[in-house]
Amino acid sequence: MDMEVEDPEPEFFKPENRGFFSLLIESFKFFLLNLPAIATIVIPVFLLAEILVPIIELFYDDLAEGATSWDWVNIILNNLIKSLISALIYSILAGIAYIAVIRVIAAAMHGEKLSPIQAMKDAIQMLPMFVVTALLYHLAYGFGLVLLVVPGIVLFVWFHFWQFSYVLRGKGAVSGLMYSKSIVDDNFVRVFLYILGIWLFMSLMNSYGIDLIADLVASNVGEEGDIGYILVNAVLVGLGRVLEGIRIIFLMTLFMDLEKD
């Protein structure tokens, strides 16, 4: 299961300080080259995540009701808690896909070929520590947001590479978070801008592409919130999540760039 990660990368993905658009273009090219393997992993797992998370959300609405005497504060707290719980559940359900895709892409970057089936088997074995690290990440990030927005953003950027720290370097839980912080410290502004850039790019693709089309089609099946709407919307959005491979390749390459600095 162990992957050699110290071998020199092929020249195409040799770690170097790329500009944002250069890194984005090369990530897209590499994504297309590995699309079949990525799709084989992402589609079934993200379909499961996209179907289950909206259904589970129906059972924990209004968690902050009556928490304070101000309704607007309760609404903000409820939305924050709900989003954090949903993000955590989504991370757990999608953990297998993320681990498997990272391993397949990392193997390809080293000129090797790892089958999607083997990557999924490896991912299942690695999932428990992945979940623990995800939990610590979301707790730290959420705690920072509750205190003030700025600490939350700082922690979000510091610990953003926890997935790669664990899957590629074997550093889980607290050590994974701290390893991510250690490579970000001297490049905080650059990393923040790159993360913001890829987030905006993927948000535009998802919101004005995948999600919009999925919503239009699902609206013809039922009203928002109905089981029929949830299922159809989840299927279409899950199919579109294959494009998350671009984000993973982009961040993985940035992760390796930072290690070389």
- Amino acid in position 87: A
**Closest C-alpha among 154, 225, 85 to residue 77:** 85
**If DSSP codes are grouped into helix, strand and coil, which group holds residue 168?**
helix
- The per-residue pLDDT for range 112-131, each reduced to its tens digit, is 889 988 998 999 999 999 98
Tell me which amino acid residue 118 is: Q
The tokens for 155 are 């922690």
pLDDT (0 to 100) of residue 76 = 80
186-243 pLDDT, tens digit per residue, is 899 999 999 999 999 998 887 777 777 777 787 777 777 677 777 777 777 777 778 8
pLDDT digits (tens, 9 = 90+) for 91-112: 777 788 889 999 999 998 888 8
The closest alpha carbon to 257, from 109, 60, 72, belongs to 109
Tens digits of per-residue pLDDT, 145-198? 777 778 888 999 999 999 999 999 999 889 999 999 999 998 999 999 999 999
| Domain parsing of the chain, residue ranges | 37-250
Q: Give the separation between CA 202 and CA 36, rounded to whole angstroms.
A: 20
**pTM of the predicted protein model:** 0.76
Indicate the average pLDDT of the chain.
82
Q: Quote the pLDDT of residue 81.
A: 77
Nearest by Cα to 180 from 203, 199, 201, 157: 157
CA distance 19 to 6: 24
Output the six-digit token pair for 169.
């370097």
How many CB atoms sit inside 10 A of residue 205's CB? 16
DSSP 7: S
